[in-house]
C-alpha cells in the first residue's frame, strides 16, 4: 500500500465504487436479453425468491424507498412481468406478484447470475467469502 493516505488507489471506497461500475458494465448486455434495468432486475430477484411481496418488503430488501421503487414497479408491470394489487384489508398496502411471464424469466435470471459469477473470475468459495465480507462491511458502515 502506498504511504500517501490521499492516493486514490489507497481508498477502499473508491475500489468498491469502481467495482460497482464494472458490475454495471458486465450486467448491461446480459440484462438486455431480459429487457430490464439493473434495479428492475433486483426487484425480479426478490420476487423470484418470494413469488409475492409487498412494496414495503421489496423496498426493505433492496434499501429503496417507495418513491424510487414505484416507478420501477410500474415499468415492470408494463412489461407484463409483475402485477400490482392493493390489499383489500389495508388499501395502503400494495402486493406485488410475478405473472406467469415474469416467472418464466427466472431461467434467464439464472443464466445471468452464472455469467456474472464467471466474469468475476472467482470460484464459489472465493465468491462466498467475498459476499460475506461485503455484507459485514455494509453492516459496519450502517452501524457507524
Give the strand order in the sheet containing 94-98.
Answer: 52-54, 94-98, 82-86
Domain ranges of the chain: 14-143
Mean pLDDT of 121-132: 91
Placement of cell 383489500 in the chain:
88
Three cell numbers, residue 49 = 425468491
Residue 90 has pLDDT above 90, yes or no: no
Q: Is 14-143 in CATH node 1.10.3720.10? A: no
| pLDDT over 90 at 2, yes or no | no
Residues in a beta bridge with 84: 96
Residue 69's contacts (CB-CB under 8 Å, 6 or more residues apart) are 43, 55, 58, 59, 62
Q: What is the pTM of this model?
A: 0.87
pLDDT, tens only, 39-67: 999 999 999 999 999 999 999 999 999 89
Amino acid at each position: 500500500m502506498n504511504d500517501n493516505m490521499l492516493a486514490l488507489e489507497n481508498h477502499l471506497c473508491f475500489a468498491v465504487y469502481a467495482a460497482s461500475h464494472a458490475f454495471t458494465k458486465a450486467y448491461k448486455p446480459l440484462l438486455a436479453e431480459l429487457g430490464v434495468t439493473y434495479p428492475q432486475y433486483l426487484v425480479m430477484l426478490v420476487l423470484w425468491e418470494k413469488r409475492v411481496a409487498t412494496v414495503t418488503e421489496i423496498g426493505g430488501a433492496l434499501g429503496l424507498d417507495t418513491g424510487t421503487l414505484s416507478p420501477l414497479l410500474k415499468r415492470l408491470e408494463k412489461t407484463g412481468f409483475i402485477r400490482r394489487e392493493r390489499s383489500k384489508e389495508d388499501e395502503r398496502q400494495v402486493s406485488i406478484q410475478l405473472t406467469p411471464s415474469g416467472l418464466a424469466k427466472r431461467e434467464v435470471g439464472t443464466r445471468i447470475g452464472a455469467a456474472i459469477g464467471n466474469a468475476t473470475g472467482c470460484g464459489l468459495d472465493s465468491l462466498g467469502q467475498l459476499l460475506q465480507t461485503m455484507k459485514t462491511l455494509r453492516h459496519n458502515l450502517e452501524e457507524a
